[in-house]
Amino acid sequence: MKLLRVHLLCALLALLPATVQARTLPALEGLEKLRQCFATTQDFTAELTQEKQLSVLRKKLVMKGTIRFKKPDRFLLVMAPPYSGTTLLKDNLLEQRLGQGGELQRVVLPPDQGLRHWFSLLDKPLTRLPDGLKVRAELQRGLYTVVVLPEGQGQMREITIQFQEDGTMRRLVLEERNGDKTVMQFKNLRKNTGLHETDFRIN
């Protein structure tokens, strides 16, 4: 009887890898799924952990903070000490205050670099892969992973985005050609809670 139970347990364990094996998705399907997730998101808040590993620096910079977004063009990033700072983007108006009591900086970006412009691009379904990009996508246990590989010699070598079926963003990894890597993990993400204009301010 004991031997039978051991065999049963082993059989279950053997089955387990098969149930969690990643399913490769067509690149366009993965990218379109990502677009749809953004399309159904009106706003979100999340706790953010950003780990920066420079290829020339042995230690890793670990920054924690919160992130907020609201369509069509509001974005707020608040980092906690010791790397404190607040970055607010109102379409193409960038406001930033670094450090404790730092001065407020305002920079007007070109209109085509504004949030409104970028998110307007997400309104239409994708019918083909954008030029200059290679894309890999897979689905594993309800977690989508989309890897974007820009062709050519640009700054970014690889961008990895992980999100859940319901569009909840989990992880964003930016790998640069110089070997630097930034990993952003999102926790306690809440979507479509009805954020207000007052939620996007720099104190």
Partner 1 sequence: MLRHTLLCLCGLLLLLSGCSTVTPHPTTLSTTVVPANTPALETLSSSVTLSFRTAEKHMSGRGVMLYRRPDQLRLVLLSPFGTTLMEVLINGQELILSYPGNGVAYSGLVSQLPRAAGQQPWRLLQWVLSHEPPPGAPEQGSITHTNGFGSEETVTLERGLVVEKSLKQGERVRYRNYRQLQGVWVATELLMEGADGERITVTLEDPEINEDLGEQAFVPRLAGLKLLPLTELKVP
Instruction: Report in angstroms how near the CB of residue 74 gets to partner 1 at its nearest.
Output: 15
Phi, psi angles (nearest 5°) of residue 56: -105, 5
Q: Are 65 and 76 in contact (CB under 8 A)?
A: no
Instruction: Report in angstroms how near the CB of residue 168 gets to partner 1 at its nearest.
Output: 19
Q: Which is nearer to partner 1, 36 or 84 (CB)?
A: 84
Site for partner 1 in 62-81 (CB under 8 A): 77
Strand order in the sheet with 169-176: 23-25, 133-140, 143-150, 156-164, 169-176, 181-191, 43-53, 61-70, 74-79, 85-90, 93-98, 104-108
Q: Which is nearer to partner 1, 42 or 49 (CB)?
A: 49
Instruction: Report in angstroms how near the CB of residue 145 gets to partner 1 at its nearest.
Output: 19
Q: Which helix (H) or strand (E) holds 101?
A: none
Q: Which is nearer to partner 1, 25 or 161 (CB)?
A: 161
CA distance 30 to 18: 21
- Rule CB under 8 A: say whether 203 interacts with partner 1: no
- Rule CB under 8 A: say whether 103 interacts with partner 1: yes
CA distance 74 to 94: 10
Measured between alpha carbons, how far is residue 40 from residues 7, 129, 173 in Å?
A: 47, 21, 22
Provide the β-strand partners of residue 146.
137, 161
Per CB under 8 A, the list member of 8, 9, 26, 99 interacting with partner 1 is 99
Q: Which is nearer to partner 1, 138 or 199 (CB)?
A: 199
Site size with partner 1, rule: CB under 8 A: 36
181's tokens: 């890597």
Nearest to 174 by CA among 147, 153, 144, 139: 147
Site for partner 1 in 162-201 (CB under 8 A): 174, 176-180, 182, 184
Could you say which DSSP state residue 196 is in? -
Per CB under 8 A, the list member of 153, 188, 198, 203 interacting with partner 1 is 153
Per CB under 8 A, the list member of 50, 74, 144, 200 interacting with partner 1 is 50
Per CB under 8 A, the list member of 24, 154, 166, 190 interacting with partner 1 is 154
- Positions touching partner 1 (CB under 8 A) are 50, 52, 54-59, 61, 77, 82-83, 85, 87, 96-99, 102-107, 153-156, 174, 176-180, 182, 184
